[in-house]
Amino acid sequence: MTTPIHHTFGPLALQSQVLQAFRLQFQPWLWQHGPSREELRTALAKQYSRNVHVFDSGRSALWALLTALELQPGDEVILQGFTCAVVPNAIRAAGGTPIYVDISQRTLGLDPSLVRSAITRRTRAVICQHTFGIPSDTSALRIICDESDIALIEDCAHILPEQLSDRIGLHADAVLLSFGRDKAISGVSGGAVLTQHAFIAQRLDGIEKSAATLSKWEIFTLVCYPLRYATAKFLWPVHLGRLYLRIVRFFRLLPPVLTAEERRGIMTARAYALPNACAAMALLQFQQLRSINAHRHMLSERYAAAVHTLHAEVPRAAASSPALQKFPLLLPNAERIRRALKRQDIHLDDGWCGAVVNPRTTDQRAAGYPRGTCPESERIASHILSLPTHPTMTVKDADRLLAALEKLLHT
Ligand SMILES: Cc1ncc(COP(=O)(O)O)c(C=O)c1O
């Protein structure tokens, strides 16, 4: 039996991370505090020449950033349709109102022409999401934000370029990073804000200094995450992997990506500190960034070469991404194909399909999304089928996936 093809079974649990996590589970004195948090900050500051503030997750970092902007009740923050529930949650928790603007099929990011008409005198910020690592139209958004004196936040949760560029990062007042388990690099959990503005940095300093600490139990479950999936993959060929995952979930030994409260639109208005253990894991992967991004690029090129035989569309700007977090295809029967692939142990439900605010189990109304207001986002959500590019996805896996897809699409 082959191991499963997936988006979410420890996608960044590389052997080096599994070994590191194995050691860390026996070093509880390094879980909450230690040198790695400052080492990660220094490495990021050196690489991107920005002030760096780190938190326990990207959502926490986004909340901290919006809080630093001192939103007042009624202030609006523009975000795109086809996003993750934690983004509107962070906006509301920071005191703002999320305003959804539709996306362009070329980038799966904000359509700048629609952003201009959505700006009101209450708009305080625009969040430009580089969906799956596809560069959004940041130059156009910068001009629009400058016209109205609005902050531009680039949400780089899905992409960590080796350098900030005109396409990704350079135009932003602040850049949001995530080191979540399935993001560009993984500390299992973690997030950061990069900024060059002294006044934002100063307020973030205060927020980071007063951040709460995650409990040792919470950090233990995060540290063990790579080990859980390494064990599940080991047990898969003897048909025990699925059972093992069920057991660890039952005993709450696998931290959820999103809590039930978050799916209902609730986020605690408070920042948590980046645990030292997560910083250590993120730092190790940051040191491997070039090879991780090169691997993603290589798999994306392989998928791109096969696309013409699949009769699927690909968002045009995907070709200009330095490293796609996943490779998006647009197909009219995406859901049927996903279900058929699952029967072959190919799991392509990545939590980014079937809804404008993802995952689809999110209460869309609680997320503040008025149905029908972002028609292109709704269409993309129902047509998308994303292929994995993460570093534990091998070329052999990619070829197996392409062969299975080709067979399904031609029958
Ligand atoms: C677009 C986007 N922004 C921000 C976040 C927040 O990242 P994190 O999972 O680290 O909280 C996520 C993921 O959840 C995301 O998909």
What is the percent of the chain with per-residue pLDDT over 90, rounded to a whole number? 97
Per the CB < 8 A criterion, the answer to whether 123 and 76 are in contact is yes
Predicted confidence (pLDDT) at residue 2 exceeds the cutoff of 80: no
User: What are 245-277's pLDDT values in tens digits?
Assistant: 999 999 999 999 999 999 999 999 999 999 999
Ordered DSSP codes for 187-226: -SS-EEEEE--HHHHHHHHHHHHT-B---HHHHHHHHHHH
Ordered DSSP codes for 121-164: TTEEEEEEE-GGG----HHHHHHHHHHHT-EEEEEETT---SS-
Residue 76 carries which DSSP code? E
Ligand 1 pocket, 17 CB below 6 A?
A: no
Q: Tell me whether residue 4 is exposed, middle or buried, using C-beta atoms within 10 angstroms of its C-beta: 0 to 12, 13 to 18, 19 or more.
A: middle
Task: Report the atom number in ligand 1 closest to the C-alpha of 59.
Answer: 11
For a ligand 1 pocket test, name from 63, 66, 158, 178 the mutation site with the most ligand atoms within 8 angstroms of its C-beta.
Answer: 178
Q: Tell me whether residue 117 is exposed, middle or buried, using C-beta atoms within 10 angstroms of its C-beta: 0 to 12, 13 to 18, 19 or more.
A: exposed
Ligand 1 pocket, 89 CB below 6 A?
A: no
Q: Cα(first)–Cα(last) distance of the chain, in Å?
A: 25
Ligand 1 centroid, distance to 407 Cα (angstroms): 34
Residue 329 carries which DSSP code? E
- In this predicted structure, what is the pLDDT of residue 311? 84
Ligand 1 centroid, distance to 319 Cα (angstroms): 23
Ligand 1 pocket, 157 CB below 6 A?
A: yes
Predicted confidence (pLDDT) at residue 23 exceeds the cutoff of 90: yes
Ligand 1 pocket, 155 CB below 6 A?
A: yes
Cα 125 to Cα 243: distance, rounded to the nearest angstrom: 45
Number of H helices, E strands in the chain: 15, 11
411 band by pLDDT with thresholds 50, 70 and 90: confident
Q: Is 396 helix (H, G, I), strand (E, B) or coil?
A: helix
User: What are 273-324's pLDDT values in tens digits?
Assistant: 999 999 999 999 999 999 999 999 999 999 999 998 888 999 999 999 999 9
Ligand 1 centroid, distance to 166 Cα (angstroms): 22
User: What are 67-79's pLDDT values in tens digits?
Assistant: 999 999 999 999 9
Domains and CATH numbers, the chain: 15-209 (3.40.640.10), 289-409 (3.90.1150.10)
User: What are 104-163's pLDDT values in tens digits?
Assistant: 999 999 999 999 999 999 999 999 999 999 999 999 999 999 999 999 999 999 999 999
Predicted confidence (pLDDT) at residue 395 exceeds the cutoff of 80: yes
Q: Which of 176, 178, 114 has the alpha carbon at shortest distance from 151?
A: 176
The number of beta carbons lying within 10 Å of the beta carbon of residue 21 is 22
Cα 305 to Cα 408: distance, rounded to the nearest angstrom: 18
Cα 3 to Cα 397: distance, rounded to the nearest angstrom: 9
Ligand 1 centroid, distance to 373 Cα (angstroms): 23
Task: Report the atom number in ligand 1 closest to the C-alpha of 190.
Answer: 10
The residue-averaged pLDDT of 70-96 equals 97
Main-chain phi, psi angles of 158, to 5 degrees: -100, 0
- In this predicted structure, what is the pLDDT of residue 1? 60
The residue-averaged pLDDT of 83-108 equals 98
User: What are 207-239's pLDDT values in tens digits?
Assistant: 999 999 999 999 999 999 999 999 999 999 999
User: What are 40-55's pLDDT values in tens digits?
Assistant: 999 999 999 999 999 9
Q: Is 377 helix (H, G, I), strand (E, B) or coil?
A: helix
The residue-averaged pLDDT of 170-186 equals 98
